[in-house]
Amino acid sequence: MQKIPTLFVRDPEDRRRVLTEVTAGCEWVLDGYGTATRKYDGTCILLDESGEWWARREVKPGKATPPNYVPVERDPNTGKTVGWEPIKQSSFAKYHAEAAEIHSAWPHGTYELCGPKINGNPEGLERHTLIRHATAETIEPSLDIRTYDEIGDFLARHNWEGIVYHHPDGPMVKIKARDFPGAS
């Protein structure tokens, strides 16, 4: 799991917001490539190929890593290390157990754990749920939302955390509603 780049460059004066400039390497989105899917507001969970569940975890510089932590990438801008910790030792273990009991067999891959006790429940769910990233809601291709203004307007009208663009060759790019000026 590598950190997905943000479509637009972060404002150096206010890193919570983005500018209209496209992040280097993400131009393919504005060139019309890729499928746009909903970015859900929860926490990332991984079911690996051996059947083990993991929770995404960021570790700030100078902080100790939790036991059995698997680092994946260090963010050069923040110094945070992104990686995985076993779900059983995660603060989300209880909510994951509730969500995972819905099915007996889950395909390996990444999921978004959402629900009443996750991030204030912006998805409005009645129970904890695992949403498979590979089956995320797709934005109707005829909408073809690609520009700064189109994306900002779309996200302002929908109650979504953001959009993830998936290139046919594998790369992904994200943009969040809260990245735009005026967002809360």
pLDDT tens, 149-173?
Answer: 999 999 999 989 999 999 999 999 9
pLDDT-based confidence at 77, cuts 50/70/90?
confident
Q: What is the spatial distance between Cα 47 and Cα 94, in angstroms, rounded to a whole number?
A: 16
Residue 183, in any domain of the structure:
no
pLDDT-based confidence at 183, cuts 50/70/90?
low
Q: What is the spatial distance between Cα 163 and Cα 47, in angstroms, rounded to a whole number?
A: 23
Residue 1, in any domain of the structure:
no
Residue 141, in any domain of the structure:
yes
Which backbone phi and psi does 133 adopt, to 5 degrees? -60, -35
First to last CA, the chain: 28
Q: In what order do the strands lie in the sheet with 172-176?
A: 35-39, 162-166, 172-176
Q: Is the pLDDT of residue 1 over 80?
A: no
Percent of the chain's residues with pLDDT above 90? 86
pLDDT tens per residue, range 100-146: 998 878 999 999 999 999 999 999 999 999 999 999 999 988 788 99
Global pTM reads 0.88
Work out how many domains the chain is built from and give that number: 1
Residue 164, in any domain of the structure:
yes
pLDDT recorded at residue 76: 85
Between the CA of residue 60 and those of 57, 76, 81, what are the distances in Å? Answer: 10, 12, 7
The amino acid present at 133, given as its one-letter code, is H
Residue 180, in any domain of the structure:
no
Which residues span the domain enclosing 120? 8-175
Q: Where are the alpha helices (DSSP H) in the chain?
A: 27-30, 93-100, 148-157
